[in-house]
Structures are given as C-alpha cells and as structure tokens.
C-alpha cells in the first residue's frame, strides 16, 4: 500500500510528479527487460551445468578407481615422488573477466596442456597412467564447471536485486506517484471551482449594487 505523502498542491509540484512517474515507468520497463534476459541466460547456464557435472562426476569416479588401484600397487614414496614433478607447472590457468548483462563473470582459460607423464615408467604402475589420463580429461570440464557455477551464483544475485527493484517500482513508487498526481489535480480543481464560485458571488453583489 502506498504511504500517503504530504505534497504541495501546486502546478509546479504536479508537473514534477508527472515527470517522476514517466521516469519510473521507463525504469520499470527497462528493469523488467533486464530481469527477463538475465533469467534467460541463467536458465541456459543451469541446463548446461547439469550435463557437465554428470560428465565430471563420471570421469572422476573412474579416475579415482584407477588411482586407488595404482596406490595399492606402488609404494607411497614412489607415488609422491612421481607426482611431485607436476608442481613446477606454473601459470597454466588464465582468468579473464567478461560482462554478462552488466554482471562481471570470470572466464577461465587453461592454456597449458603439456605432457603429464613426466615420471619414470619403471617405478610406476600402468594404472597410474590411466588415472592421470582420466584426471587430465576431467580437468577442462571441471574448470568449465567452476566458471559456470560461479556465473550462476553471480547471476542469481543480480536477478534477485533486479527483481526487488522491479517490484519496488511496481508496487510502491508508481502507485504512490499516481496517488500524488490524483491528489494534486483534485486539489487544483477544487481551488479553481472555489475561485469561480467566489467570483460569481462578487459579480452578483456588484450587479446588485449597480
């Protein structure tokens, strides 16, 4: 419900309120369009993330199975040692920012696809190769998943605030302005009628005297 506001019943004020109403309506229309488009993108991403997550989970599950087998076959020290080499790979991931409907979302680009089997083959089991291949295949999907889920989070936030703004305009500001305009024009009309009535009365008195 619009809260009644004290407004001056003047023509100036009426013009001002009318201008504000036009502005509010335009803003409302734009925000509504923005909300709809955001929602559209959001739902597209939701659809995308579902298939992606399934793929990632499948690959990881297979990878973990092979990896556990490899662990069983190898000594802990040999394992640690053969995997240590990966730690030297630097700057493989690039993070860029991209605007989606005024929301800045990250884009992750994995640039480094060097050989991962940088260990000796003598001390490692074949299962380790399988596991690492599976992990390597899963990684781009995982990164994509990170990107999409982060975008979803940020978009959800934006959609929520946009929806609040649309509702605030629709349910509070616009009705309030309409109410004000009605009040002012009624007051102005009333003033005009009263002026006219007193003028007629004065005219009568003047005529009676003449």
CB 200 to another protein: min, Å: 59
Measured from the CB atom, the residue of 40 and 182 that comes closer to another protein is: 40
Which of 174, 76, 91 minimizes the C-alpha distance to 124? 76
CA distances from 128 to 81, 88, 115, 150, 152 (A): 13, 19, 14, 31, 35
Question: What are the tokens at 172?
Answer: 């509070």
Query: How far from chain centre, in Å, is Cα 124?
Result: 47
Task: Return d(Cα 198, Cα 192) in angstroms, integer.
Answer: 10
Q: Which stretch binds another protein (CB under 8 A): 14-22, 60-68, 177-185, 191-199?
A: 60-68
Measured from the CB atom, the residue of 19 and 64 that comes closer to another protein is: 64
User: In the window 66-105, what residues touch another protein (CB under 8 A)?
Assistant: 67-68, 71, 79-80, 82-93, 95, 97, 104-105
**Residues facing 94 on adjacent strands:** 109
Residue 200 interacts with another protein (CB under 8 A): yes or no: no
Helix orientation angle between 11-73 and 126-168, rounded to the nearest 10 degrees: 170
CB 138 to another protein: min, Å: 9
* Beta-strand runs (E) in the chain: 93-100, 103-110
CB 8 to another protein: min, Å: 39
x/- binding map, residues 99-138, to another protein, per CB under 8 A? -----xxx-x---x---x-xx--------x--xx--xx--
Task: Return d(Cα 210, Cα 206) in angstroms, integer.
Answer: 6
Torsions phi, psi for 10 (to 5 deg): -130, 165
What's the CA angle centered on 55, arms 51 and 61, to 5 degrees?
Answer: 145
- Site for another protein (CB under 8 A): how many residues? 63
Measured from the CB atom, the residue of 107 and 203 that comes closer to another protein is: 107
User: In the window 144-163, what residues touch another protein (CB under 8 A)?
Assistant: 145-147, 149-150, 152-157, 159-160, 163
Binding site for another protein (CB under 8 A): 39, 42-43, 46, 49-50, 53, 56-57, 60-61, 63-65, 67-68, 71, 79-80, 82-93, 95, 97, 104-106, 108, 112, 116, 118-119, 128, 131-132, 135-136, 139, 142-143, 145-147, 149-150, 152-157, 159-160, 163
């Amino acid at each position: 419900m619009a809260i009644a506001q004290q407004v001056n019943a003047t023509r100036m004020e009426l013009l001002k309120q009318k201008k504000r109403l036009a502005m509010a309506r335009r803003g409302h229309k734009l925000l509504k369009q923005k909300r709809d488009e955001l929602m559209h993108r959001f739902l597209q991403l939701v659809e995308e993330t579902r298939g992606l997550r399934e793929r990632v989970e499948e690959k990881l599950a297979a990878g973990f199975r092979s990896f556990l087998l490899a662990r069983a076959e190898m000594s802990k020290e040999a394992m640690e040692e053969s995997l240590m080499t990966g730690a030297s790979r630097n700057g493989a991931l690039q993070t860029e920012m991209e605007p989606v409907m005024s929301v800045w979302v990250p884009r992750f680009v994995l640039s480094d696809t060097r050989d991962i089997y940088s260990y000796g083959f003598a001390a490692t089991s074949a299962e380790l190769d399988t596991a690492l291949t599976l992990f390597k295949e899963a990684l781009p999907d995982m990164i994509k998943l990170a990107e999409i889920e982060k975008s979803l989070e940020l978009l959800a936030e934006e959609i929520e605030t946009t929806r609040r703004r649309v509702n605030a305009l629709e349910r509070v500001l616009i009705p309030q302005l309409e109410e004000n305009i009605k009040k002012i024009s009624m007051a102005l009309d009333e003033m005009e009628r009263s002026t006219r009535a007193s003028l007629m009365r004065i005219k009568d008195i003047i005529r009676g005297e003449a």
